[in-house]
Amino acid sequence: MNPKIEKLEKDIEKTTAKIAELQKKVRDMQTQKTELENADYVATCRSFKLTPAQLAEFLKTRHLPQETEDEYED
């Protein structure tokens, strides 16, 4: 086979492996970010020193912004 083709095949394999590795790294970082955000939310909720029932009632009485379809468009 043409040496240039063989080199390109090896480069493609190497690049594909690197992409997969980086995609996994991004997924792991996204998971870590979500866990940190969740910990922040829990800490904030606990700072109110409410019982779970009181917190649920508090959240029910707050008007949250309505989501629009525009928020989901790419």
The DSSP string of 35-56 is HHHHHHHHHHHHHTT--HHHHH
At residue 68 the predicted structure's pLDDT band, cuts being 50, 70 and 90, is low
Find tokens 């949250």 and name the residue: 64
Note the pLDDT of residue 1. 81
Could you give the CA distance from residue 7 to residue 27 in angstroms, rounded to a whole number? 30
Please count the helices (runs of H) and the strands (runs of E) in the chain: 2, 0
Residues 1-53 pLDDT 10s? 899 999 999 999 999 999 999 999 999 999 999 999 999 999 998 898 999 99
Could you give the CA distance from residue 46 to residue 51 in angstroms, rounded to a whole number? 9
Q: Are the beta carbons of 55 and 45 closer than 8 angstroms?
A: yes
Note the pLDDT of residue 69. 62
Over residues 52-67, mean pLDDT? 83
